[in-house]
Amino acid sequence: MCNLPPKFHSVCRLCLSFCGDNCSDVKLPIFDRDKDKSRLSEMIMTYLAIVVSPEDVLPKVVCGSCASKLDEFHTFRELTHKSERLLEQFLHYANSLSGPIEVC
């Protein structure tokens, strides 16, 4: 394995931001021992199509900003899926009352 700079593993895996010891931005572990506590690895692989593994040699942390963006994307995705289901339910209900709805 090559010689990596000492701070290599402190770089955010997603945006490459680096904070030293005096930084206010928190670094969050991608892989947490408590499965219920951290879904970062799942969200990275699902939403960004980036494969992350505890066995790879790349940094295993993300910055608070990237973690927040992943959470926002997850919330947005959940909202869009719920909206889609509600629209389909509305169409099904409307069809049951008066027959198929014509598109204007």
**pLDDT tens digits for range 48-99:** 999 999 999 999 999 999 999 999 999 999 999 999 999 999 999 988 888 6
Binding residues for Zn(2+), by number, are 12, 15, 63, 66
- Report the pLDDT value the prediction gives residue 98, as an integer from 0 to 100: 80
- Report the pLDDT value the prediction gives residue 56, as an integer from 0 to 100: 93
Binding residues, by number, are 12, 15, 63, 66
- Report the pLDDT value the prediction gives residue 104, as an integer from 0 to 100: 59
pTM: 0.76
Contacts of 57 (CB under 8 A, 6+ apart): 1, 4
CA-nearest of 61, 19, 26, 24 to 44 is 61
- Report the pLDDT value the prediction gives residue 99, as an integer from 0 to 100: 63
